Structure 1
Amino acid sequence: MKRSVRWKFTIIFAGLMTVAIALIWCINNWFLSGYYQNYKIHTLEKGYRAIDAIIQDEVRNGESSLEDAQAELNSGWKEYQKSKDGSSDMDSADGGSTQSGKNGTGDRAGDETQDALGEYAEGDTVVLEDDSEDASADALDGEEASSGGVRLANVIRELRDRSNISLLLYDSESDQTLVSSARDVEVMRDRVRRYIVGHAGAKRDVLREYDNYMIQKTFDPLSKTFYLESWGFFSDNATIFIMTMPMESIHESAAISNRFLMFVGIVVILAGSILIYFITRHITMPIKRLSELSEKMSNLDFDARYETSRRSTEEIDTLGNSMNVLSERLKTTIGELKEANAQLKKDIDEKVQIDEMRKEFIANVSHELKTPIALIQGYAEGLVEGMAEDKENRDYYCGVIMDEAGKMNRMVRQLLTLTALEFGGERLSVERFDLTELIASVISSSGVLLKQNELTVDFDGKEPVYVMGDEFKIEEVITNYLTNAIHHVGGGEKKIQIRIDHRRDGKEVCVEVFNTGNPIPDEALPNLWTKFYKVDKARTREYGGSGIGLSIVKAIMEMHHKACGVKNHENGVEFWFTLDTAGEK
């Protein structure tokens, strides 16, 4: 059952949306985990730079307040959160004094710390990377800065709460833990020690490697979970750290994203398909009207007309107006076709009549065979009844029988050949051959007939002339021309000449066969190529000609797509044909 245009639009829309969502799903499935992993690696790198900047500040200022980071990490989140969310200046001042702790930092230092942490959370690393001495001097100029422990605790909170990163810092000189956001502190200390000494038991793959630290991907066989880890030293070469983050959250996030995308995609496809189905109604209604109009036109109702409407578009109106014009022209054209049909019917009747005439012609030709058959039968019966007892009469009877049988045999062969040529039963075998050699061969084959008629053939071809054609069929053409010349020579001389010439004419070779005698009447020239046409029936009967030879010549030359013809001269008749030349090998 055929579908409507609305249905096809809907199916196409649903198919395109399905392909698009499937493509997005595949891209997410193949590349989203890798994108998340690179993002987390970037987070680990920013975390390292932020903490390293704090440690460098502590070293330059000669302070050692990082031991306060653990206490600040456990108790200062509420004030930090209020400060980050943009609380009032009074709250900022209170939070700043609370975060200052025993170091007693001022309002401006607290604000700068919160601004730096806010930029870290938003992914901007400009402030965190700006760890030069000028930046530190600007932060401390005129007022006290926030203590390193408070700033460190804030960075660790961001890593822990936003990125699920566990971190451990300890002093390699005193072997004391400075700060940790991990549950198993000793496990993490043991792990980083083994990494440092090169005895990593877990399978790992190094992703990034720097001067003081590296980022790697490890697999825990106990929990069967992959982790992203960053470990090494800070710029003071005394503080050892390790940051670890499970990758299961990455895979889970990718899976949730794909599942959500699938649900949203299904809703979009269904809702969009329903919407497009109803929207396309405004497009298909004018098309439906055109369809109804075309159906009326197919029923030859040319009075139906298309009328524009408010919902139709410019293209539909153009098509409708064109159909109106088409209807008018069809109405006129059909009338003309009826007249042409009547004429065609008349032509067909004429063709049928011509075919009947051809059949009648063949029947008449067949009827002509009755004469030689009757002669053969009569003389054969005479021989049987003993009417020719002496040898001379028997030879005469047998000669008549053989002569009439030969005439019938030649006529039948020529008829079969001509029929095969005219109806495509014969195929050309075009090849390169020597025309001079072929003409000489035909003259030699006709030597007995020439000798019987005391004739000579003038042919002075010595140089080979190569042409393209079917050699056997061209041989038949030359044989027919020569036989026709032998039996139609005339004049008072005892020996009458027949001349055969071939001459080049550009890219063609023209072969001419001339015989002396009376010219052919001009009105008979066009009919020479017609089957069984005889100019002089009495003379033709003497040599047994059937009038088919020249028809065979015409058919062969038409197969070669070349010309043939006849010319009258004062002292005779010339038949000719042309062939394409072929180059020397």
Structure 2
Amino acid sequence: MAVIFKKTYRFAAITSGAITFFLALAMGVFFFFSKVNNYWYFGAFVVISYVVCFLIIQYRVERMIYTRIQKIYDDVTLLDKTSFAKPQITTDMKTLTREVERFAQNKKLEIETLKVRENYRKEFIGNISHELKTPLFTVQGYILTLLDGAMKDKSVRKKYLQRASKGVERLIYIIKDLDMITKLEVGDLNLVKENFDIIKLLKTIFDLYEMKAARKNITLTFDIDYEEKVMVNGDKEKIEQVLSNLIINSIKYGKQNGTVEVSIENLIRNKVIIRVTDNGEGIAREHIPRVFERFYRVDKSGSRKEGGSGLGLAIVKHIVEAHNEKIYIESQLGVGSEFSFTLEKAK
């Protein structure tokens, strides 16, 4: 019955066998011409030769592979030598090849991820530069015009200063949103959770943006009449910001004479889901995965005309996730959009 060796020892076993065979052959010739008939010596010689050869070859091969691979880890900065231990050494080349292929695959994924992040970084820098440049140039233009002589005309002076003030307000608005989203991303924003009535909060928001919606003859409404309170638990101020951003977004991209509808449904025993639905422009499928990115704009020309910092939906997502909740989007181009998020019920 053949002895089955582990793959890690197969090379040493086969090589030792070959060496022992030739040694035994040479020793057999020596015994034959010397007329030595003691086969015990011959058998002991064969066994000892095999064991000694096996141990020496196994040790030397392991040492060679370990030394050379360690040098690769030392020379190639992409590899971390601390992740490589001596017990991992194997003389089985299939195992070694598999490990190298696994490492190469992991590095390939890391490189692809870094490329995506680099593209995102470049796009983000370009977007933020544009967002800040527009109001800055506007303010600079009005101030330079005033300095060039328009300041002497009181009516022009007042009008240009008012416009410059609006440009400064837009800059402050963008910087505040950037500060907010930075704190949310690094987890530096503390949530003050409390129980509150989500229906009452929504009615307050409806009253606040009623005039804005009226300019496009958009109706802000609930899906049904909520006669009873719906108590939830969360940071009331932050949830108000979430709902305000979603409703403003629906008004911005809503159709003339359209509707923005809010509904609250029981999701599971301790959760509700709040839906904000409009019958506006809708979002194309290819844009949906990116709508929560900072400064990402589906329709750049239209959204700039409508104003905003371009950070509203990114802030919404981070606030919802800071509550350990989920936010969803469903949209169809030309039909409308629905943004929904979960929230914990009041205990």
TM-score interval, normalised by the smaller of the two chains? 0.5 to 0.7
C-alpha contact (below 8 Å) 1:407/1:544 kept by paired residues: no
% same residue: 29
In structure 1, which of residues 473, 477, 480 is the aligned counterpart of residue 245 of structure 2? 480
Q: Choose which of 171, 176, 189 in structure 2 pairs with 1:413.
A: 176
Residue pair 2:61, 2:91 contacting (<8 A) in 1 also: no
Q: Does 1:581 align with 2:341?
A: no
Do structure 1's residue 442 and structure 2's residue 193 form an aligned pair? Answer: no
Indicate conservation of the 8 Å contact 1:512/1:575, yes or no: yes
Residue number in structure 2 paired with 1:398: 161
RMSD of aligned Cα (Å) = 3.3
Instruction: Give matches, 1:232-311, under 5 Å.
Output: 297=62, 300=65
Q: Residue 380 of structure 1: CA displacement?
A: 1.0
The answer to whether the 8 Å contact 2:90/2:96 transfers is no
Counterpart residue number, 1:499: 261
Q: Is the 8 A contact 2:330 2:337 kept in 1?
A: yes
Q: Distance in 1 between matches of 2:155 and 2:302?
A: 27
* Residues 461 and 298 of structure 1, relative CA distance in 2, 3 Å threshold: farther
Output the CA distance in 1 between the equivalents of 2:275 and 2:89.
61
Q: Deviations over 1:147-193 (max 9, x none)?
A: xxxxxxxxxxxxxxxxxxxxxxxxxxxxxxxxxxxxxxxxxxxxxxx
Maintained 8 Å contact 2:274/2:340: yes
For the residue of structure 2 that corresponds to 1:408, the secondary structure is helix
DSSP-derived class of the 2:108 partner: helix
* Structure 1 pair 347–521 and aligned structure 2 pair: CA distance change class (3 A): closer
- SS of the residue 1:526 aligns to: helix
Q: Is this contact kept in 2: 1:502–1:511, CA < 8 A?
A: yes
Change (3 A) 1:471 1:331: farther
Deviation track 1:11-31 (CA, whole Å, cap 9, x = no partner) reads: xxxxxxxxxxxxxxxxxxxxx
Instruction: Report the Cα offset of residue 295 of structure 1.
Output: 11
Distance 1:444 1:297, change over 3 A: farther
Residue identity matched to 2:137:
A
Cross-structure match for 1:382: 145
- Aligned partner of 1:465 among 208, 227, 230: 230
Contact 2:62–2:90 under 8 Å retained in 1: no
How far apart, in 1, do the equivalents of 2:248 and 2:239 lie? 14
Report the CA distance between 1:513 and its aligned residue.
Answer: 1.5
Residue 110 (structure 2) pairs with residue 348 (structure 1): yes
Equivalent positions of 1:19-30 (< 5 A) are none
In structure 2, the CA distance between the partners of 1:411 and 1:332, relative to structure 1 (3 Å rule), is same
Q: Could you tell me which residue of structure 2 aligns to residue 422 of structure 1?
A: 185
| 1:413 Cα deviation after fit | 1.8
Deviation at 1:512, TM superposition (A): 1.5
Structure 2 partner of 1:247 = none
Aligned residues between the structures = 267
Report the equivalent of 2:50: none
> Do the aligned partners of 2:250 and 2:280 also contact (CA within 8 Å) in 1?
no
Corresponding position of 2:285: 522
Conserved? CA contact 1:436–1:462, under 8 Å: no
| One-letter identity of the residue aligned with 2:95 | T
User: For the residues of structure 1 that align with 2:255 and 2:155, how far apart are their CA atoms?
Assistant: 32
Q: Which digits, 9 at most, give the CA deviation of each residue in 1:456-477, with x for residues without a partner?
A: 4213433111223333322221
* Cross-structure match for 1:234: none
Instruction: Give, in whole Å, the separation in 1 of the partners of 2:93 and 2:160.
Output: 76
1:129-158 per-position Cα deviation (integer Å, ceiling 9, x unaligned): xxxxxxxxxxxxxxxxxxxxxxxxxxxxxx
* Equivalent of residue 119 in structure 2, options 342, 353, 357: 357
CA distance in 1, matches of 2:190, 2:92: 45
1:533 aligns with 2:296: yes
One-letter code aligned to 1:342: A
**Distance (Å, rounded) in 1 between the aligned partners of 2:60 and 2:121:** 47
One-letter code of the match for 1:561? N
Within 1, Cα distance between the matches of 2:337 and 2:66?
A: 66
Query: 5+ unaligned residues in a row in structure 2: which ranges?
Result: 1-54, 68-86
**TM-score normalised according to structure 1 size:** 0.41
Shift of 1:455: 4.5
Q: How does 1:23-422 map to 2 (within 5 A)?
A: 297=62, 300=65, 328=90, 332-368=94-130, 369-387=132-150, 389-422=152-185
CA 1:538–1:422 in 2, change beyond 3 Å: closer, same or farther?
same
Q: Supply the AA of the counterpart residue of 1:398.
A: L
1:561 Cα deviation from its structure 2 partner: 3.3
Determine the C-alpha separation between the residues in 2 that align with 1:498 and 1:327. Answer: 65
| Equivalent residue, structure 1, for 2:80 | none
Distance 1:335 1:415, change over 3 A: same
Secondary structure class of the residue paired with 2:204: helix
| Equivalent position amino acid for 1:579 in 2 | L
- Secondary structure in 1 aligned to 2:150? coil
Residue identity matched to 2:228: E
The alignment status of 1:511 with 2:270, answered yes or no, reads no
Deviations 1:117-136 (A, max 9, x none): xxxxxxxxxxxxxxxxxxxx
User: Is the contact made by 1:414 and 1:548 (CA closer than 8 Å) also made in structure 2?
Assistant: yes
Q: Which runs of 5+ in 1 are unaligned?
A: 1-289, 303-324
Shift of 1:382: 1.1
Q: For residues 149 and 277 of structure 2, what CA distance do their matches in structure 1 show?
A: 48
Report what 1:215 is aligned to.
Answer: none
CA distance in 1, matches of 2:92, 2:260: 65
Secondary structure of 2:295 counterpart:
coil
Residues 472 and 538 of structure 1: CA distance in aligned 2, closer, same or farther (over 3 Å)? same
Instruction: Give the Cα separation in 2 of the matches to 1:422 and 1:401.
Output: 32
SS in 2 for 1:425: coil
Question: In the alignment, residue 226 of structure 2 is paired with which amino acid?
Answer: G
Code of the residue aligned with 2:125 in structure 1: it is A
Please give the alpha-carbon distance, in whole angstroms, between the structure 2 residues aligned to 1:342 and 1:520: 39
> Which is greater in Rg?
1
Given the superposition, is the C-alpha separation of residues 577 and 376 from structure 1 closer, same or farther in structure 2, using an over 3 Å criterion?
Answer: same
Q: Structure 2 vs 1, CA of residues 533 and 358 (structure 1 numbering), >3 Å: closer, same or farther?
A: closer
Go from structure 1 to structure 2 and tell me whether the alpha carbon gap of 1:466 and 1:333 turns closer, same or farther (over 3 Å shift). farther
Measure, in 2, the Cα distance between the counterparts of 1:301 and 1:487. Answer: 64
1:335-355 CA distances to partner (integer Å, 9 max, x unpaired)?
322222223333333343334
Shift of 1:436: 1.7
**Residue 8 of structure 2: aligned partner:** none
